[in-house]
Every structure is written in structure tokens, then in C-alpha cells.
A and B are shown apart, each in its own frame.
Chain A
Amino acid sequence: MKKRDIAFGLIVGILGLVLAVGAQTFARPCVHADGSAAVCATVKTWLTVEGGLIAVLSGLSMIRPNAVTQGIAAAGGLLAALTPGLLIPICKSDMMACQRVTRPTALVIGILVGIVSLWWLALTLTAKRREARS
């Protein structure tokens, strides 16, 4: 394992875990006062799955750097950024927790995962090209 892959893997993995855990805790979508599920309830499940997937893929890619898994992790990040609001509807009012916390959290983590994974992917591909040349 290269130091570089460990660093990138850890960053992406931690971001994925924060997303998965956050969707269940500090960034969970809204619940009505009567306990019933709000429009945005399914976002929680999707973000947890996406965050978990990103963490697993980064772990795999850390052990064995692979452009495919890094590419899927980047796509997962972008998917997570688009999940609340675009792919899955959330409450319309800006006053709701899903608008104030869940959506921004997914957006920020998703974009960061996307950027870091794409950077990692570019470095992996460059290293492979260099190896092939030599």
C-alpha cells in the first residue's frame, strides 16, 4: 500500500462514513411532531447506503488501488450530492431540517468525495500509464 493511497482512501472513507452516520444522526431528515414520516424520509436510507458504499469502495481501493472502484466512489459522491432535492423530493420550506442540514451536508460531502476521488483516480491512471511506459 502506498502512502498516497492510504491518505486518499482515509479521506474518502471518513467522508463516506460521516455521510452514512450523519444521515441517521445530526443530518437526519425531518420527522413531524406526531411522529409520522415527512416527504424527505427516504433520503435518510439513500444517504446511508451511498455513504456506506463510498466508505467500502475507498477501503477496497486503499488496499488495492483500482480506477474502477475510485470512479464508482466519485460517482457515488456526486449521486449523494444530488440525492436530497433533485433525485428524492424533500420538504419545500427552507425552515425544515432537511433543507437546512440534510441537503447542505449531502451536497458538501458529495462534492468533496467527488473531487478527492477524481483526483485519486487521475493519480492512479497517471501512475499506471507511467508503469506501462517503463
Chain B
Amino acid sequence: MTPHKLPLRNLLRRPGRTAALTVLVVFLALSLFAGSVIVMSLNSGLGSLENRLGADLIVVPATARGKVDPEKIWLQGTTGYYYMSASKLEEIRGMQGVAQASAQVYLASLRADCCSMPIQVIGFDPETDFTIRPWIGERLKADLGPLEVVVGSRVSAGVNETIRIYGESCLVIARLAPTGTGLDTAVYCTMDTMAALLQAARDLNHELKIDGDPARVVSAIYVKAVPGEADRLETAIRQTRNPKVTVIRARTVTSDVERSLGGVAHTITVLIVCVWILALILLTAAFLLLGGERRREFAALRALGMSRGGLAGIALKEALLVSLFGGLIGIGLALLFLLPFSGLIESALGLPFLQPGWQTMLILAAGTLLAVCAAGSMASVFSARRLSRVDISTIMREGA
């Protein structure tokens, strides 16, 4: 047997010892990789939310928060609806400091046939919209026709399938890219389609609390202010009456999310650091203890003519092999849990969660593997140093 094969043979000969060391390394890799992916997903989710809200101010009826918090619709995909007269849009458009304003209409389906629970339907005006259209434009070049819808990435109706909402068959013509927010669970249509759906809901005796024509109501008005005018405009809109409105600053929504995200990211980082410190101490201690047990084995190798460097090399190679194997298992386990459970993690955190693409995952995995191998090698350095300096005569005499 060549000395090159010795480290692997040593590891295979003692499966219990190897398994114990591997478990420690698995914890190192699992915590680092999973923690990094979660923190990165939360950051991507926040960036995506900022892009998707895309407005300075969002105006909703003052009664909206009593029914369902609009932020829950955007962040968690909670369904809800509330209405005010469409004349409010014209009123706001006429205000000084408004660069762009566009309305959206919300409707919660009862139970669409794609899903066994309500889904949020969002109607927008393609002529004036500046928040949904750029996002839809990534996947759909043509205009949306009557009873045609675009679905969020988490509504599992395929393109060219139809989904029935309040008895109306709507054709899915595109699926949107994921955003990691509640907007992924919604269905998007034009105002004409929305008016037809509102009428269909009324015909089925669904209580929407709309007075008059369903085509003349809006749920939220997205406003982009002229630079530097947002504060003044917010005050001006708040003072309007008939109906009274609530003005939500998009920046406030993202700041709140940013604050929560900071807390979660901090907790995860502290946990990763704790796991690493503990595992590194345990790993170093384990290598030292095992080194003590293996002094006779290394003394015999030295007596057979192996150099000190060769002995240290064996110990380091063993540590590197264990780190590589444990690192791969840890990354594999992290992926096995993170990929399928991403939806559950998102709903548990209640924050936008957008997992990075496979290229980023690959880079993170490579980085984790490098870090784990470096940590494993470092942990074995003391043991390797001690083993390379074994005094053959003393050890042989001890054993006699």
C-alpha cells in the first residue's frame, strides 16, 4: 500500500470515529450554507418588494385596514378586498406634485378551481399602470384581452389553462417571475376583466359592498410623486374627504420589512457563529484526543522510515477528507430541506423570501466547502504537529 492511500484506509478502518468527526463537519457546513441561503433569500425578497411596490404612495380607503391590512396582501398573500369610488383617482391625478397615478382593484375569489382556497385577483389599468406592467412585460409582450389573466409564480395554473373565478372562465396567458412576496400568489387582469368578475361575484350573491357600477370602483391608487414632493403630497391626500383615505408610504412598508429582516438576519448570524465556535472547539479536541490514541500507530510509521512531514501530511489529509465528505453531506442536507420547504419558511417568517438562482447557490456551496475544509484542516493542525514529532523510543518503551 502506498502512503497516498493511507489516510483513506485509516478513515475506512475506523468507521465509528470517522462518522463522529463527519457529523461535526456536517453541522458546520449545514449551518453556514443554510444560514447564508436564508439571509440571502430575505435580502433578495426585500429588493424584489421594493421593485414591485414601485410607487411612493399607496392610497387605500380608510376602512381598508379594518378589513385586511393591505401590507398583508403584498407581503403574505392574504386575500382581501375593499373599494372606493374611482373618482378618487381623478381627484388625486389633479393634485400638484403627482407625476403618475394608477388604480388597482382587488377581489378575493371564493374557491378558484385551481386552488382549494381563495386567491387574490388584482385588476390594473394597462394604460396608466407603472408597477405591474414592467413586471408582466418581462413575460408577456402582447396586451391582456378580455377574461385573460396573468398568474403569479405560485398559482399553479399553467399557460393556456383556464381558471374559473366566480363561474367565469379566465384564460391564463402568462406566468410571472417569482418575487418572493405575497404578490406571487395573485392573479392579474385588466380593469375590464375585473369589472366582469365583480359583476359575476355580485350575480352569485357574494357581498362585495359596492354601491353602483362595479366598473366605477378602485381598491388602491398607486402614486408616484414629483421628486421632493412626496411629503407634501402625502399630507394633501390625507386631507381629502369622500371617502376618507389612508396613505401608505411604500418606503415605510419596506423599512418595516427591512427592520424585521435585520432582526432575523442577526439571529441567524449569531446562531452560525455559535455553531461554528462550538463545532471548531469540539473538532480540535476530537483531533487532539484521537491523536493521543494514535501515537503508537504514528511512531510505527516513523520507525518504518516515514518523514515527519509525511506523518503530518497523513493527519492533515485525513482531516481534509473528513471535511470534504462532511461538507458535501451538510450542503446536500441543507439543499434537501431548503428547496422543498421554502414556502413554509416564507410563511413562518412572514417576510419576502426569494431564493437565489442555482449559479449563486453553486458559488455559496463552493464557498461553504472551502470554509469547512479550511476549518477542518486548521482544527487538525495541532494534532498533526504533535503526531509528526512522536518520539519513537519513548512511545515504544511506554508500550513495552
Contact = CB atoms under 8 A, between A and B. Distances in A.
A94 B185 contact: yes
B154 A101 contact: no
A32 B119 CA distance: 14
Contacts, number: 57
Given A93-B155, A95-B185, A107 B114 contact: no
Nearest to A39: B116
B344 A101 contact: yes
Interface in B335-368: 336-337, 340-341, 343-344, 347
Query: Considering residues B115, B119, B336, which has the most beta carbons from chain A within 10 angstroms of its beta carbon?
Result: B115
Interface string B263-286: 000000000000000000000000
Contact of A94 (B111, B154, B336, B341): B154
Nearest to B182: A95
B117 interface: yes
A104 B337 CA distance: 8
B116 A104 contact: no
B87 interface: no
A100 B347 contact: yes
A108 B340 contact: yes
Interface string A93-114: 1111001110110011001100
Interface in A37-84: 38-39
B336 A111 contact: yes
A103 B116 contact: no
A107 B119 CA distance: 26
Contact of B115 (A96, A104, A108): A96
Contacts of A100: 341, 343-344, 347
Given A92-B114, A93-B115, A96-B116, A108 B336 contact: yes
Interface residues of A, number: 19
B117 A93 contact: yes
A103 B119 CA distance: 20
Interface string B127-165: 000000000000000000000000001111100000000
A93 B114 contact: yes
B116 A32 contact: yes
B343 A99 contact: yes
B154 A93 contact: yes
Given A39-B116, A100-B344, A101-B344, A93 B156 contact: yes
A95 B337 contact: no
B77 interface: yes
Contacts of B119: 93, 95
Interface of A: 30, 32, 38-39, 91-96, 99-101, 103-104, 107-108, 111-112
Given A95-B77, A96-B116, A100-B344, 8 more contacts: A91-B116, A92-B115, A93-B116, A93-B119, A94-B185, A100-B341, A100-B347, A108-B340
Interface of B: 77, 111, 114-117, 119, 153-157, 184-185, 336-337, 340-341, 343-344, 347
12 contacts: A91-B115, A92-B156, A95-B77, A95-B154, A100-B343, A100-B344, A101-B344, A104-B340, A107-B340, A108-B336, A108-B341, A111-B336
> Across chains A and B, which 6 residue pairs bring their CB atoms closest together, nearest first?
A104-B340, A93-B115, A94-B154, A92-B156, A100-B343, A38-B116
